[in-house]
Each structure stands twice: as C-alpha cells, then as structure tokens.
C-alpha cells in the first residue's frame, strides 16, 4: 500500500498523534491484529475506528484522499451504513457482551473475506463478561489471516489485562477548544452562530461529539445549560438548604429514560461547575485555604464520578462532596 504522510482524509477533529501512528502502520504495512482506542466518550474513538475500516476496505488505490475517503465508493458507503458484509460492528446497547453472539461473530470472521479484510469493530469492549473475553482471547492469540479487530473503551482500567496484552492501545484525550470550534465550523451546522458554538464548546469537556450533540438537539442543550447555571448558583451561594435540594434533585430515582440520562449528565456538569468555581476563585484572589478546599472537592468529585459509573451509591458520594464545598 503506497501511502504518504497526511494521505487520508480522516474526517475527525484533533488526535494528530494517534492519526500519525496509524498512518505509519498503513505506510509500513505493519498493521496489528487488534487496536484498542481508549479515551473518554464522545471523543471520536468509534468514528475513527469506522473510518479506519473504510480505508482498509476501500476499493480505490489512488493517492487522492477524497477518492479513498469517498462518498462515491460503495464499499465506504456500506461501512458507513453498517451493512458491509466483511465489516462487523457491535454498538453499545447498554448491555454486557454475551458469549453466544461473540462466538457467532468469530465464526463469521473465520470464513473467507469477499473484500480485503474481515474487520470486527466493537464499541466499549469493557462490557465483555469474563466468559466472552476468554472466547475472544483464543482468536486474538491465533487470529485468522486478514482479520483486524478495532476495539474502543471509555474505561481502560476495566479492560482485562489478558486482553490488553494482545492489543495495541492508542490513547485519546479531550481536544483543545480551538480544535473543536474549527471542527464545528467545518460541519456548518444549521443555525449555529459563533456565540452558540462557543457555549457548546465550553460545556463539551473537550469532547467534539458532545458539542455536535448540543448543536443538533436544541432542547437537550437548553437542559444542560440550565443545569450548569443552577449548579454554579448553588455552589456560589453556599446555602446548605440549596445544596441538599440539588443533591435530592440530581440523585432521585429516574422515572423515564430521559430522566436517567439527565441524572448521568449531572455528575459531569457538577465537575465542570467546580472547575469554573476554582478558576474564578483564583482570579478573585481568594485565600489559599478557600482555593484548596475547592481543589480538594474537585479531586473528590472526579473520583466520585468514576465510582458512580460503577453503580456505587451516587447520593452518598455527592452529598458528602457538595456539603463540604
């Protein structure tokens, strides 16, 4: 495969180091049997995994990035739609990855490919049960010819060491604000004026997918902004009654899927509000003791978010943090 630096149109924001490493793999033909893209949600991991699958399977061999990236390439279009026979995707449906579906897919991978490769793209590989992981490991140890695995994870610490030892890990990080702004401007999202884009970036935590979601879903974006302002107001007032009310509202049992979604959002918003509070206190020249108290609260909140995602009691975690902030 004749590849020169910067040859591909990756269609994602940032991640230059990761892209450079993958392009080197393509240039040298030294492709691993399995990649693991690790990083926070909405940072572009799965998008890049699908894009890599398109590049590997594409029928065009010209030097033009647009040709290889090609909307006109039927193979690339089929992969984008999730209907390419030799590119199998497992999205995250919120459930654990069970053993029988994994066995069925691995059996498909062992058959002869119609295209260039058999590619298995899995979102959030940490969802595997131990039994499923053991089945996968047997194939990772002795992969069939022309089979490439592309896994993603939002919780690298939850991926089994035995899996980690058999994949090439590439780490993704949040993007700088200017990178996300350039990305959003390039997408030309309808009715997205500069002020709105800036607000979306401010609340995105460096995650381009999150910013795009804000701009495409007006109601959702308004809910997030209202939640952020409410948390900021409560933190600024320091009123104990308001703090208790906020904890109650954020951790009450959700009645609908939408409620559950917003409960999850609260914890990330709380972290962002604490960061803003810390920066504001530093600018205002607050006492070192006051600033340290906010920094400590932020560190505890970061740990609490990780625990909350593992179903540890959220109310107890955040009640302790917010009442001591």
Tell me which residue of 9, 7, 11 sits closest to 27, measured CA to CA. 7
Q: What is the pLDDT of residue 237?
A: 76
Q: What is the pLDDT of residue 233?
A: 86
Q: What is the pLDDT of residue 5?
A: 43
Model confidence band, residue 239 (pLDDT cutoffs 50, 70, 90): confident
pLDDT digits (tens, 9 = 90+) for 132-169: 999 999 899 988 888 999 999 998 988 999 999 999 99
Q: What is the pLDDT of residue 257?
A: 56
The b/e string for 181-210 (b: 16+ C-beta within 10 A; e otherwise) is bebbeeeebeebeeebbebbbbbbbbbbbb
CA distance linking residue 59 with residue 305, whole number of Å: 44
Q: What is the pLDDT of residue 169?
A: 97
End-to-end distance of the chain based on CA atoms, in angstroms? 57
With 70 as the cut, is the pLDDT of residue 76 above it? yes
Q: What is the pLDDT of residue 187?
A: 77
With 50 as the cut, is the pLDDT of residue 67 above it? no
The answer, as to whether pTM is greater than 0.85, is no
**Domains in the chain, CATH or no CATH each:** 16-171 (3.40.50.300), 217-323 (no CATH)
Q: What is the pLDDT of residue 314?
A: 59
Model confidence band, residue 71 (pLDDT cutoffs 50, 70, 90): low
Model confidence band, residue 39 (pLDDT cutoffs 50, 70, 90): very high
Q: What average pLDDT does range 56-76 have in this prediction? A: 63
**Considering the chain, what percentage of its residues have pLDDT values greater than 90?**
31
pLDDT digits (tens, 9 = 90+) for 267-306: 778 878 877 777 777 777 777 776 677 777 777 666 666 6
> According to the per-residue pLDDT averaged within each range, which of 28-32, 65-69, 256-260, 321-325 is highest?
28-32
**Considering the chain, what percentage of its residues have pLDDT values greater than 70?**
79
pLDDT digits (tens, 9 = 90+) for 109-124: 888 777 789 999 999 9
Model confidence band, residue 70 (pLDDT cutoffs 50, 70, 90): very low
Residue 152 has φ and ψ, to the nearest 5°, of -125, 155
Tell me which residue of 37, 20, 47 sits closest to 167, measured CA to CA. 37
Q: What is the pLDDT of residue 235?
A: 78
pLDDT digits (tens, 9 = 90+) for 205-237: 888 888 999 998 989 899 899 988 888 888 777
Tell me which residue of 159, 215, 160 sits closest to 189, measured CA to CA. 215
Model confidence band, residue 18 (pLDDT cutoffs 50, 70, 90): very high
Contacts of 8 (CB under 8 A, 6+ apart): 23, 26, 55, 65, 68, 69
H-type alpha helices, the chain = 16-28, 45-57, 65-69, 74-81, 99-109, 130-141, 161-164, 177-187, 194-202, 208-216, 218-237, 240-251, 257-283, 288-308, 314-323
With 60 as the cut, is the pLDDT of residue 37 above it? yes
Q: What is the pLDDT of residue 45?
A: 94
Partners of 34 in the β-ladder:
149
């Amino acid at each position: 495969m004749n590849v020169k630096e910067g040859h591909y149109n990756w269609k994602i924001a940032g991640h230059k180091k990761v892209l450079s490493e993958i392009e080197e793999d393509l240039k040298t033909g030294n492709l691993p049997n399995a990649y693991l893209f690790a990083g926070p949600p909405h940072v572009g991991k799965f998008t890049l995994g699908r894009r890599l699958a398109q590049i590997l399977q594409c029928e065009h061999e010209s030097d033009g990035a647009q040709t290889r990236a090609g909307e006109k390439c039927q193979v690339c279009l089929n992969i984008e739609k999730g209907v390419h026979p030799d590119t199998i995707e497992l999205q995250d449906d919120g459930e654990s990855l069970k053993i029988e579906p994994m066995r069925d897919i691995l059996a498909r991978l062992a058959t002869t490919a119609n295209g260039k490769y058999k590619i298995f793209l899995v979102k959030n590989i940490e969802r595997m049960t131990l039994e499923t992981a053991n089945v996968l490991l047997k194939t990772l140890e002795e992969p069939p010819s022309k089979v490439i695995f592309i896994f993603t994870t939002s919780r690298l610490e939850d991926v089994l060491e035995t899996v980690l030892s058999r994949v090439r890990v590439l780490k993704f990080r949040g993007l700088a604000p200017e990178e996300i702004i350039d990305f959003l401007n390039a997408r030309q999202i309808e009715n997205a004026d500069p002020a709105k884009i800036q607000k979306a970036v401010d609340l995105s935590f460096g995650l381009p997918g999150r910013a795009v979601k804000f701009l495409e879903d007006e109601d959702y974006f308004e809910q997030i902004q209202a939640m952020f302002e409410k948390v900021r107001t409560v933190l600024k007032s320091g009123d104990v009654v308001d703090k208790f009310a906020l904890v109650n509202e954020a951790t009450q049992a959700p009645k609908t899927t939408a409620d559950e979604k917003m409960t999850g959002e609260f914890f990330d918003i709380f972290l962002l509000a604490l960061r803003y509070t810390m920066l504001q206190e530093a600018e205002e020249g607050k006492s070192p003791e006051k600033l340290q108290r906010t920094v400590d609260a932020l560190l505890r909140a970061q740990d609490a978010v990780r625990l909350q995602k593992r179903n540890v009691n959220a109310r107890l975690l955040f009640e302790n943090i917010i009442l001591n902030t």
